[in-house]
């Protein structure tokens, strides 16, 4: 009797400890996540370097620079943090991961908005037509979807006060976030194809696109896994 009671108490204690410390990634998962994070940062740095090399530091420069940081690095990192697969948030409790997700996504959204404003103002100043390319239309749609997903996150965070169903919101927000990240990566690839037209950049462009595709696949897969688990256990 006492042995059974002690066993139950140990299980409760271990459960509380796990909730406090958060899930720990396996070694292989950590290596994969770090590899994805490093690859994404390298592509973002490459985009920034090529932009500054070709255009110099002008108003236009801030568009691809901040988009690369905001979408590729920060939004991707925010998704991984919420999925418990960010090396920077390894061992965080659920509440800590939510806080990290919020901070990262907020900074990313601010940078993306600045980037969107920069390209609009730059076109106005130089007399270029707005939304005249596939990339610009994809970018506009992606930005609007990002705003929608962000508002969904706000509703998710304050679901109790708004008298909404939190589980359904979390699932919808997870799928929305994954879809937005796919759109963002696709838009960036369209932009690379539109701007990097020199033959000497062909292999570099292809390599960057492959890295973006593989990283996007991993990040979105993890986001969908999290959303599906919530749907199964709701």
pLDDT per residue as tens digits for the range 105-164: 999 999 999 999 999 999 999 999 999 999 999 999 999 999 999 998 888 877 766 666
Residue 11, pLDDT score: 42
Inter-CA distances, 65 with 11, 24, 62, Å:
49, 33, 5
What is the mean predicted confidence (pLDDT) over 95-103? Answer: 89
For the chain, the average pLDDT equals 86
Q: How many CB atoms lie within 10 A of CB 152?
A: 19
Provide the sign of the torsion angle of the four alpha carbons 209, 108, 164, 141, taken in this order. Answer: negative
Residue 189, pLDDT score: 96
Q: Nearest-CA neighbor of 73 among 170, 181, 193, 226? A: 181
Residue with more model confidence, 228 or 79? 79
Q: How many CB atoms lie within 10 A of CB 212?
A: 22
If you write DSSP's letter for every residue of 159-213 in order, what string do you get? Answer: HHHHT--HHHHHHHHHHHHHHHHHHHHHHHHHHHHHH--SGGGHHHHHHHHHHHH
pLDDT over 60 (residue 10): no
pLDDT over 50 (residue 4): no
Residue with more model confidence, 155 or 7? 155
Query: Where residue 46 falls among pLDDT bands split at 50, 70, 90?
Result: very high
Find the range with the poorest average confidence among 17-21, 102-106, 197-201: 17-21
Q: What are phi and psi of 137, to 5 degrees?
A: -70, -40
pLDDT over 70 (residue 14): no
| Residue reference for tokens 């690859």 | 39
Find the range with the poorest average confidence among 28-32, 40-44, 201-205: 28-32
Class for domain 27-233, per CATH?
mainly alpha
pLDDT over 90 (residue 37): yes
Find the range with the poorest average confidence among 46-60, 90-104, 133-147, 209-223: 90-104
- Domain limits, the chain: 27-233
pLDDT over 50 (residue 204): yes
> Residue 134 has which token pair?
């596939």
Instruction: Give the pTM.
Output: 0.85
Residue 173, pLDDT score: 87
pLDDT over 70 (residue 5): no
How far is Cα 158 from Cα 150, in angstroms, rounded to an integer?
13
Residue 12, pLDDT score: 40
Burial letters for 160-175: b for 16+ Cβ neighbours within 10 Å, e otherwise?
eeeeeebeebbbbbbb
What is the mean predicted confidence (pLDDT) over 90-103? Answer: 86
- DSSP code at position 87: G
Q: How many CB atoms lie within 10 A of CB 124?
A: 10
């Amino acid at each position: 009797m006492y042995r059974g009671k002690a066993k139950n108490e140990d299980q409760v204690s271990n459960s509380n400890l796990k909730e406090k410390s958060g899930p720990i990634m396996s070694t292989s998962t950590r290596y994969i996540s770090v590899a994805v994070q490093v690859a994404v940062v390298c592509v973002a740095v490459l985009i920034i370097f090529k932009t500054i090399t070709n255009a110099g530091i002008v108003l236009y420069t801030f568009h691809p620079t901040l988009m690369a940081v905001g979408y590729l690095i920060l939004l991707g990192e925010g998704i991984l943090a919420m999925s418990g697969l960010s090396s920077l948030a390894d061992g965080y409790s659920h509440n800590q991961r939510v806080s990290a997700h919020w901070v990262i996504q907020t900074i990313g959204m601010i940078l993306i908005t600045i980037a969107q404003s920069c390209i609009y103002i730059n076109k106005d100043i130089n007399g270029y037509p707005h939304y005249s390319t596939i990339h610009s239309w994809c970018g506009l749609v992606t930005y609007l979807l990002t705003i929608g997903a962000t508002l969904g996150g706000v509703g998710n965070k304050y679901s109790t006060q708004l008298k909404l169903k939190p589980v359904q919101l979390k699932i919808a927000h997870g799928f929305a976030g994954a879809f937005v990240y796919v759109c963002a990566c696709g838009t960036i690839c369209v932009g690379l194809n539109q701007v990097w037209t020199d033959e000497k950049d062909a292999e570099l462009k292809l390599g960057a696109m492959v890295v973006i595709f593989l990283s996007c696949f991993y990040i979105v897969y993890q986001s969908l896994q999290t959303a599906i688990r919530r749907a199964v256990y709701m």
